[in-house]
């Protein structure tokens, strides 16, 4: 009897874990496809496939995965933490909906949530750049910094 209960508990935990990872998997696939500008993959995982065109390589959109972290599942999808230079991190869900074709990312609902979370963000410091305490170097107007020193 105890072995049966333990087996059922382990099996149910396994089933719940498998079901919950499906949302995370589609969100990871979504961010990977955005980073790669893979419109064909995005068309298969977005609720409205035509929205994938805005991520085409020639659209001007670019994204690096180093500024996001996929967190836990929530009722509406999967929480994602965005790290931005000079601003506090924000956590916003990527909205995942169940459609006739399976789980899909609702891009418009996700973007609306992202914009709402970011619109009142304030910088963490007055000036959002850092200087290194060393002499400047490089080229300017086809002159090297050493050649510029010679002109002065």
- Give yes or no for a contact between 42 and 34, defined as CB atoms under 8 angstroms apart: yes
**Per-residue pLDDT reduced to its tens digit, 4-33:** 434 443 444 444 444 458 999 999 999 999
Report whether 121 contacts 131 (CB < 8 A).
no
Pick from 16-30, 75-89, 102-116: least confident: 16-30
| Residue 116 pLDDT class (50, 70, 90 cuts) | very high
Answer whether 0.85 is exceeded by the pTM: no
pLDDT for 19-76, tens place per residue?
458 999 999 999 999 988 999 999 999 999 999 999 888 888 877 656 899 999 999 9
Give me the residues paired with residue 92 across strands.
Answer: 80
Cβ–Cβ under 8 Å, residues 70 and 27: yes
Which carries the bigger pLDDT value, residue 38 or residue 138? 38
Task: Please answer whether residues 68 and 128 qualify as being in contact, where contact means their C-beta atoms are separated by less than 8 angstroms.
Answer: no
């Amino acid at each position: 009897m105890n072995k049966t209960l333990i087996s059922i508990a382990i099996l149910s935990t396994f089933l719940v874990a498998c079901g919950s990872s499906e949302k995370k998997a589609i969100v990871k696939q979504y961010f990977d496809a955005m980073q790669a500008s893979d419109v064909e993959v995005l068309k298969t995982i977005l609720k409205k496939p035509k929205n994938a065109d805005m991520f085409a390589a020639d659209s001007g959109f670019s994204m690096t995965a180093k500024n996001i972290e996929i967190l836990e599942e929530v009722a509406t999808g999967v929480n994602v933490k965005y790290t931005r230079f000079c601003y506090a991190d924000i956590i916003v869900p990527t909205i995942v909906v169940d459609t006739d074709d399976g789980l899909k990312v609702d891009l418009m609902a996700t973007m609306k949530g992202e914009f709402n979370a970011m619109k009142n963000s304030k910088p963490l410091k007055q000036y959002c750049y850092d200087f290194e305490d060393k002499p400047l170097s490089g080229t300017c107007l086809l002159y090297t910094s050493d050649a510029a020193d010679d002109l002065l």
